Homo-oligomer: A and B are copies of this chain.
């Protein structure tokens, strides 16, 4: 399986999540997948658990924008922005693939941390979300 095919799988997964097409998304997931969310210290072990979390994630959770996807061998990194009425949340996913399915992932979810500390304001400017 080529890097191009692997990156296409990851792009397709996020596109299917956006479409809430859980059955099609599930076909891209290895039965033995293990997914970590380090920011909440959670692990989902196995396709049934991982997909249950996706299917039951409380709505509304916004619109997924795929910003960048880059791959090397069996690893694919995706930079994702999720826009909703409150603003933008970011996700960065490190996915490992095996024969065209995602078998391991570490996903970092980045919340808006609010106003930055004052000590560095002299060297920074503010940007939109």
- Residue of B38, B42, B122, B123 near A110 (CB, 8 A) is B38
- Residue of B90, B113, B126 near A111 (CB, 8 A) is B113
Contacts A40-B116, A42-B126 given; does A90 touch B77 at CB 8 Å:
no
- Copies of the polypeptide in the assembly: 2
- Chain B hits for A48, CB < 8 A: 123
Quote the shortest CB–CB distance from A91 to chain B (angstroms).
9
- Residue of B70, B92, B124 near A44 (CB, 8 A) is B124
The CA-CA distance from A76 to B6 in the complex, in Å, is 18
Contact mask for chain A residues 24-67; partner B; CB cutoff 8 A; 1 contact, 0 none: 00000000000011111111110011101100111000000000
Contacts A38-B110, A70-B72, A71-B72 given; does A53 touch B92 at CB 8 Å:
no
The CA-CA distance from A28 to B109 in the complex, in Å, is 29
- Chain B hits for A45, CB < 8 A: 125
> Is B42 a contact partner of A127 (Cβ separation < 8 A)?
yes
Interface of chain A residues 71 through 104 with chain B (CB within 8 A): 71-72, 75, 77, 79, 88, 90, 92, 94
- Chain B hits for A77, CB < 8 A: 70, 77
- Residue of B39, B43, B44, B126 near A41 (CB, 8 A) is B126
Contacts A68-B75, A77-B77 given; does A108 touch B127 at CB 8 Å:
no
